[in-house]
Amino acid sequence: MTTSFSIARLVHLNFLLICSYHRGQRDDVLRTGGQLTLAAPGLDLVASALEPPLLGSLEPTTSIGGAEVIEGRSSIEEGLVPVLDHVALNNQFVDLQAVFNKKFAKACGVLNRILESYVSNKGSDTDLVVMGWLKWRRPREESETASRYYKEALDFLGVRMTRWVMMVTLDVFDSMIDSFHFVYVVGERQMEKAINRQRILLQHLRPPSSFSPQTSESSPLAPLICLAANNASGDDIVIVAAYRTPICKAKRGGFKDTLPDDLLASVLKALIEKTSINPAEVGDIVVGTVLAPGSLRAIECRMAAYYAGFPDSVPIRTVNRQCSSGLQAVADVAAFIKAGYYDIGIGAGLESMTVDNMGQIEMVNPKVEIFAKARDCLLPMGVTSENVAERYGVTREEQDQAAVISHQRAAAARASGKFKDEIIPVFTKIVDPASGEAKPVTVSEDDGVRPNTNMRDLAKLKPAFKKNGSTTAGNASQVSDGAGAVLLMKRSLAMRKGLPILGVFRSFAAVGVEPGVMGIGPALAIPAAVKSAGLELKDIDLFEINEAFASQYVYCCKKLGLDTNKVNVNGGAMALGHPLGATGARCVATLLHEMKRRGKDSRFGVISMCIGSGMGAAAVLERGD
């Protein structure tokens, strides 16, 4: 069965394509783009699939030239394999000198070679049709409607365009010509990206077959459909920026006299300044926070948004999933963007353990005496750490050794300047407790790291939660103050705005475990998140596992068989600190900046933490472009 259709039918779908011209610093820079044409019985789909470059200066009155497509027709065999039937070029229509500074002839040669390659492969396993046109017969009054169709086409596959290009499309071309055809000129990298994007589309369009990955035999962590392994898609939820404050010791560190809303405002403001986004475009800000009363902290967060420069129109809310609150905030924003509720969102985390104390529940329901698991939800976290150590045989020596490594790695990272990429210095004040004098300071480093931590000194510490126990102040996370924030949007929007892509949010999972051993949560949450991303544990290059307690951290690494050289490579909460609501956002910043430094050697990373009352959470991130 073959379905054929002409250019006229394609134009009827109202998807426009424009040719962008690039006048760069280097003489050999000239790339425009392309358009994908997919077809199937009962389905016509036309969408831009190649990424145009950033534009140079081109006056609207410049004579525009291009290669004219005399005739184009695309046929498709059953099985969704497009082939190019015929393209004829009229190069007499091209004004080489005026538009492309003597280099368009070279680009046309590249174009011809590309087209000849596809024509010669007609009927074979060719999986890309490159066709371009602008068939503009609409009156100027309909430009707004056409603009909307055009934007939808670009959004579909995440094509990067500029406002200037849209102006040329609607104003210049509309006034100059009635009908104009052209073909994009593309480089090898752009062609490869287009092919990969089309494969992703075809995977969704292809009807179910008798063999499906879901029915194949595989290990428990084998991928169902490896979404994360596919190349870039415009629908990807990406992280374009992730920053944090320094993490400081509660009540005696650099933020002991800093209010929580000032901490949050610092990272929110940094996102605006470093990305130059319009704050009014943000659809929502979600802040993970734990200790403060909900209504009070929500008001403080709203105040912080105003300090940072957000207008009235941008809403903000808080979320509390205990120690994973910051990660939950990021996951919530990713889900809302994916669902189409808004285009840009911020997931953040905040905790001042100086201001807000971990108090006891004043009124306890007597039913907890009947429901043992409910009663265990009230256990102090340190007691659950002892439970993990006893049940799973984690020794004091193993815990202390993990603490030493955490401090050593954090100290090395701090000394080498690694954290400077993710830390936003905070201008604040320190009050002298003796004189009451407030001195202005800029806090720019984590102050809980102890470079000289060693096994001998840790062995001298007494158990903190249980007589003859193994959990001490030295092998548990520090009580800390801090904040973090992560800016998310769809890849298509990030590309149009010209924003760098730091990472891709691939999956999230939260699981429940016994409250009495809540620390084992990551051992269950990590496999769930990895499987959801269509990956296996062996695919993960780096892990950020929150070190709430050394006992649970050591257990989770052993249970999952992780190479500890891939886990918390820049130290963890035992050295840096654990500001409860902020830790998830902090981990996102730390992981993605480390993956960026490592480049191709690090593609996938996992963030995970245990959660008080018996849960675990994890997320899979992919390194950005």
Residue 610 annotated in active site: yes
Rounded-to-integer distance, Cα 305 and Cα 265, Å: 6
C-beta of residue 582 within 8 angstroms of C-beta of residue 350: yes
Rounded-to-integer distance, Cα 272 and Cα 243, Å: 11
Rounded-to-integer distance, Cα 104 and Cα 110, Å: 10
Other C-beta atoms lying within 10 Å of the C-beta of residue 581: 36
Rounded-to-integer distance, Cα 295 and Cα 312, Å: 19
Q: Please tell me which residue in 19, 248, 301, 323 is annotated as part of the active site.
A: 323
Rounded-to-integer distance, Cα 246 and Cα 379, Å: 30
Residue 251 falls in which region: left (phi positive, over 0), alpha (psi -120 to 50) or beta: left
Burial class of residue 124 in the structure, from the number of CB atoms within 10 Å of its CB (0-12 exposed, 13-18 middle, 19+ buried)? exposed
Residue 578 annotated in active site: yes
Rounded-to-integer distance, Cα 520 and Cα 261, Å: 32
Q: Is the dihedral of CA 499, 504, 510, 515 positive or negative?
A: negative
Tokens encoding 14: 């109202």
Other C-beta atoms lying within 10 Å of the C-beta of residue 19: 23
Tokens 């520090």, located at residue: 478
Residue 557 annotated in active site: no
Q: Are strands 604-611 and 542-545 parallel, antiparallel or unpaired?
A: parallel
Tokens encoding 10: 């394609």
Tokens 């070679």, located at residue: 113
**CA-CA distances (angstroms) from residue 254 to 249, 440, 445, 550?**
7, 11, 9, 25
Length of the chain: 625
Within 8 A by CB and 6+ apart from 577, the residues are: 247, 248, 249, 446, 448, 477, 478, 479, 480, 482
Tokens encoding 331: 């996951």
Phi, psi of 605 (to 5 degrees): -135, 155
Q: Please tell me which residue in 22, 181, 578, 593 is annotated as part of the active site.
A: 578
Find the helix or strand (DSSP H, E) in which 153 lies.
Answer: helix 143-157
Q: Please tell me which residue in 108, 301, 557, 610 is annotated as part of the active site.
A: 610
The residues assigned a catalytic role are: 323, 578, 610
